[in-house]
Chain A
């Protein structure tokens, strides 16, 4: 029975979008301000979405952001939460997630960080829906936080207070 349970579950698929703001599209080496990451995970009728993003930009960073968008980008988590909600509340959230790099590929850019990653489920996650939800949240948190911290380079601020949110929902097979 344990073998049949294990065989029924394909690995989860996890994708990460890095979100950044490009201050000069016209030149190589233009300043890029890291904002956060959006992570989604799909497994066996379950969809999970996570957002890890900065609470605020520094004043110095905000000065480099165009006036038309500065009020929104200055508080990245609050701004990106609206996009998070749009994805999570969609009838096909995974499909909406996939459209983000094409919709946002100018100064505000959503960039896929590598290919989708296959993640094997532990046995409890295969045997229990509740355990699977809990495991999915852990995976979103872990992958999201790791990707978030790796966005920051030499020229970026050191103190980058973040906010997070993760949710799961049933998804039609």
Chain B
């Protein structure tokens, strides 16, 4: 019985990979990702490593500091947002941000680039995320002003993100208007949205490596606008990632940012959960 199930899953995986190779030739690689060229150049560098070669200086809290985030600037004048490595409940915030950003980079999804950083002045550890856009506001603030055309054209990115956030069990993206940012220099014809704050996902979620996958509900945009083709494409993209790539993204996070037992849970969960995505979203068997 177990052997037959494993055999069926293997065949399904082969069919998915074959289908995906064909899709990759048809679907533009940047379909769900909309960052400026200089952002993407740095993102390419940061996606290939965990740390940063630049010298950074910690700044003031962002807002009143309730989010626990801080401004940070590099010696070259680049600005970012950083978060302490661990939350008060021991959630490996920085590691989760880094893993989510690197996975999203592979999937061409709009999550800003992220690296891990130890402040030499204090020895404290953080994640640093790039600001997504030169001019931005949160979805919560901008939504009342957005046209139906904007929402329609942004729908594929939101659909793809819904699959991604389901995969990594990021329930914080279930309608949290502060976790999506809008590019204020974009237009309704070519809207720019990015997804931020993935700290409370992955190993923070009980049963991440064992519980069945249940898709996040549709939030942010009207349900009738959701793009089913984007759902299918992202399910295929995620299942097309090599196991070794996923493991490598997680394993290279240093143990001081991500305890080994949590890394094991994350890898096991990501590899298992992705196989359930097509069924969970009704786009495959």
| Distance of A106 Cα from B187 Cα, bound (Å) | 18
Q: A66-B183, A106-B181 are in contact. Are A25 and B67 (CB under 8 A)?
A: no
Is residue A169 contacting chain B, with contact meaning CB distance below 8 A?
no
Q: Is the CB of A68 within 8 A of B142?
A: yes
Q: Tell me which of B47-55, B128-136, B200-208, B244-252 binds A.
A: B128-136
Name the interface residues of A86-135: CB closer than 8 Å to any CB of B: 98, 101-108, 112
Q: Is the CB of B135 within 8 A of A102?
A: no
Is residue B185 contacting chain A, with contact meaning CB distance below 8 A?
yes
Is residue B64 contacting chain A, with contact meaning CB distance below 8 A?
yes
Q: Is the CB of B130 within 8 A of A72?
A: no
Q: Is the CB of B62 within 8 A of A28?
A: no
Q: Looking at the complex, which one of A27, A68, A101, A108 makes contact with B79 (CB distance below 8 Å)?
A: A27
| Distance of A30 Cα from B131 Cα, bound (Å) | 13
| Distance of A69 Cα from B138 Cα, bound (Å) | 12
Q: Looking at the complex, which one of B134, B145, B185 makes contact with A72 (CB distance below 8 Å)?
A: B145
Name the interface residues of B52-86: CB closer than 8 Å to any CB of A: 62-64, 66-67, 73, 77-79
Dominant secondary structure at the A interface = loop
Number of A residues near B (Cβ < 8 Å) is 25
The total number of A-B Cβ pairs within 8 Å is 80
Q: Is the CB of B64 within 8 A of A101?
A: yes
| Distance of A102 Cα from B66 Cα, bound (Å) | 8
CB distance from A16 to the nearest CB of B (A): 14
Q: A22-B135, A107-B136 are in contact. Are A68 and B181 (CB under 8 A)?
A: no
Is residue A155 contacting chain B, with contact meaning CB distance below 8 A?
no
CB distance from B129 to the nearest CB of A (A): 11
Contacts of A27 in B (CB 8 A): 77-79, 134
| Distance of A13 Cα from B77 Cα, bound (Å) | 37
Closest CB pairs A-B (n = 8): A66-B184, A102-B63, A66-B185, A105-B63, A28-B77, A25-B131, A66-B135, A107-B135
Residues of chain A having any CB pair with chain B under 8 Å: 22-30, 65-69, 72, 98, 101-108, 112
A-B contact pairs, 19 of them (CB 8 A): A25-B133, A27-B77, A27-B134, A29-B77, A66-B183, A66-B185, A67-B184, A68-B187, A69-B142, A69-B145, A69-B184, A101-B64, A102-B63, A103-B63, A103-B138, A107-B135, A107-B136, A107-B137, A108-B137
